[in-house]
């Protein structure tokens, strides 16, 4: 197991529109974090799939748990892309969204994974 990683326990995706090989989909995803962040996140992602198999995604995720032992919750914004080399996801804590012992906390996460990878390592940067 990576020092900082997440897995997803639920991925419920539905295509909302498709035209000329381009499609737009929505996914409700549940993430489980370990490492510096320990907890569970519930997200809503919007994806654009291109005919060549690449795509982009954006989304928001409510995470509840601990960060370096401090209890609370926060919202992450997701922005990323995927293709034959895998997935790249850049996440940032939404300003003012942290609660509990995390009130005022900010940070960014970056995750890269290959297709089908179950455990995804992430790096965490806190100012």
**Parent domain of 97:** 5-125
CA angle at residue 32 from 27 to 34, to 5 degrees?
145
pTM higher than 0.85, yes or no? yes
Q: What is the pLDDT of residues 64-98, one digit of tens each?
A: 999 999 999 999 999 999 999 999 999 999 999 99
Is 1's pLDDT higher than 70? no
Which stretch of DSSP H or E encloses residue 45?
Answer: strand 37-49
Query: In whole angstroms, what is the distance from residue 54 CA to residue 42 CA?
Result: 24
- Number of structural domains (the chain) is 1
**CATH number (domain holding residue 56):** 2.40.350.10
């Amino acid at each position: 197991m990576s020092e900082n990683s997440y897995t997803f326990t639920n991925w419920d995706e539905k295509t909302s529109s498709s035209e000329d090989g381009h499609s737009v989909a929505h996914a409700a995803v549940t993430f489980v974090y370990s490492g510096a962040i320990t907890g569970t996140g519930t997200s809503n992602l919007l994806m654009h799939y291109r005919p060549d198999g690449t795509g982009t995604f954006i989304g928001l995720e409510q995470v509840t748990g601990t960060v370096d032992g401090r209890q609370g919750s926060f919202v992450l914004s997701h922005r990323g892309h995927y293709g034959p080399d895998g997935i790249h996801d850049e996440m940032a804590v939404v300003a003012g969204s942290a609660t509990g012992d995390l009130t005022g906390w900010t940070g960014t996460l970056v995750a890269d994974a290959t297709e089908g990878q179950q455990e995804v390592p992430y790096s965490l940067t806190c100012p």
